[in-house]
Amino acid sequence: MPVICDADSDAAWQLFASASCDACCRLRLMLFLINRLVLSLLLILVVIYAGLLWLAWRADRIIFQPPPSSYLDKAPFAPYQLFHITSGANGPHTRVGIASITTLYFPNPHAQFTLLMSHGNAEDIGQNCDLYEEYRRRGFAVFAYDYRGYGTSTGIPTEEGTYADAYAAWDYLVNTLRAPPSRIILHGTSVGGGPAVELAERLSIADQDQRPAALILVAPFRSAFTVLTKFPLIPWDKFPNARRIMNVRMPVLVVQGEADEVIPFVHGQKVFYNAQPTGDNDASLTRTSGKQHLWIPHAGHNDIFRVAPTLYFDKVQSFANEIPLK
């Protein structure tokens, strides 16, 4: 039987100890690198989320970009009528404070419906007069308003402020201009979809004859922040249109350009899907539900009315003709 000398035994032990030490060092190094990686990823996530929180805090200043007013109050608007009305003095949004908002009325004695127009972001009612006149030529009356901070309206634009302004315009149209509620179609374009959907949801619990006839949305978003984040990451998002429209009880028309470069096309699809009854298909119009859609190929965010004006206005007219009046 061979005998292992002490020298050989010590050498073997030292070799084993050295190998174990190397393995231990490599393990510690690997754990250290993993911890650094995890901490770095967490730090990145914290920074990103902090940035999102900052965006949420500054959201109103980021969302609203009012241009210099395109009109003067003393400009000759005849045969249209310009009114200054008070927003925030009464109704459900008094906490935002009082503002004077400017409105334009395009009367049409032959109109079956009046469109209550909530415009897009970087524009005011003066820039949209040609659009409103085309609606009037197509058989509608039009009542348009500028949000606070836009045009010659006073105040600073905020999400809550647009809700107050939309409600004030509705109240003036119904109680001063005497338009029957059931003959008013709410219309919102882009960011204007926010106050239009909020007003539609609020008025959906009113008696049948005090409820708007329908809601039209052009290039709406699911919610303001999901335009950037794709998914709802922030609990206090702005203009949650996709959620609110589920509570709207009136016919809905959703229009969007398939090449929209500002609000991805899927936003319009989601808003349409959630409109009652939920689903991807059009549904027959009743006084409390039903929906239609118009997806316009090659149209972007701001050129729908230029790319396919006949297609768009024909669709709005046919939709209005199908709205049940009783």
How far is the C-alpha of 52 from the C-alpha of 159, rounded, in Å?
Answer: 17
- 3-state helix, strand, coil split of the chain in percent (to 5) is 45, 15, 40
Active site residue 301: yes
Beta strands at 141-145 and 99-106: parallel, antiparallel or unpaired = antiparallel
From 93, 187, 267, 301, active-site residue: 301
Torsion of CA 173, 179, 183, 186, to 10 degrees: -10
DSSP 283: B
How far is the C-alpha of 162 from the C-alpha of 165, rounded, in Å?
Answer: 5
Tell which residue, 254, 190, 181, has the closest CA to residue 216: 254
How far is the C-alpha of 221 from the C-alpha of 188, rounded, in Å?
Answer: 11
For 58-141, where are the alpha helices, taking DSSP H only? 59-63, 129-137
From 60, 124, 237, 260, active-site residue: 260
Please give the structure tokens belonging to residue 217.
């949305």
Beta strands at 141-145 and 184-189: parallel, antiparallel or unpaired = unpaired
Q: State the DSSP H helix or E strand holding residue 255, giving kind and residue range, or none if neither.
A: strand 252-257
From 190, 223, 237, 267, active-site residue: 190
Tell me the β-bridge partners of 142. Answer: 106, 115
Tell me the β-bridge partners of 252. Answer: 215, 291
Residues taking part in catalysis: 190, 260, 301
